[in-house]
Amino acid sequence: MSPHRSRQSGFSLLEVLVAFAILAMSIGILMQVFSNSMRGASVVRHYSNALIIAESQLALTVAATALAEGEESGTVDDFYDWVVAVTPYELPEEGFEATSFDPFVVTVAVSWGGDDRRRTVALNTLRLGQK
């Protein structure tokens, strides 16, 4: 046997600590990215649901036999609040002849969320109603 020290292979304690620090930072960054993407997916889902509700309410209002000025509201799934407003559209005085139809602006607004982060989707259209 020789009195020389045998060389050991492996990692030193410092190398292991550096590797764990890099791993911990990487996991932290990945968790933030995952959390942000989940939050974004939730926002997109709520916008999609609100848009479907707004389109449905707009179609129901426009399909009514006679449009009349007024406002109606309701709630869907105890989460989405909707408001439908029908208001007369003011035509310019020049260039338009009198017709047997009155133009109306139909606006549907759907909102959701808490008071601090309230979000809203709104759709509107111009429709003719009979006098």
pLDDT at residue 103, rounded to an integer: 87
Asked if the model's pLDDT at residue 5 lies above 70, the reply is: no
Q: Quick check: 124 and 108 in contact, CB under 8 A? A: yes
Quick check: helix, strand or coil at residue 128?
strand
pLDDT at residue 63, rounded to an integer: 85
Using one digit for the tens of pLDDT, what is the confidence trace for 27-74?
999 998 888 888 888 888 999 999 999 999 999 888 876 788 889 999
pLDDT at residue 15, rounded to an integer: 87
Q: Quick check: 109 and 54 in contact, CB under 8 A? A: yes
Nearest to 102 by CA among 113, 114, 87, 117: 87
pLDDT at residue 83, rounded to an integer: 96
Asked if the model's pLDDT at residue 122 lies above 80, the reply is: yes
Asked if the model's pLDDT at residue 2 lies above 70, the reply is: no
pLDDT at residue 131, rounded to an integer: 62
Distance CA 105, CA 11 (A): 74
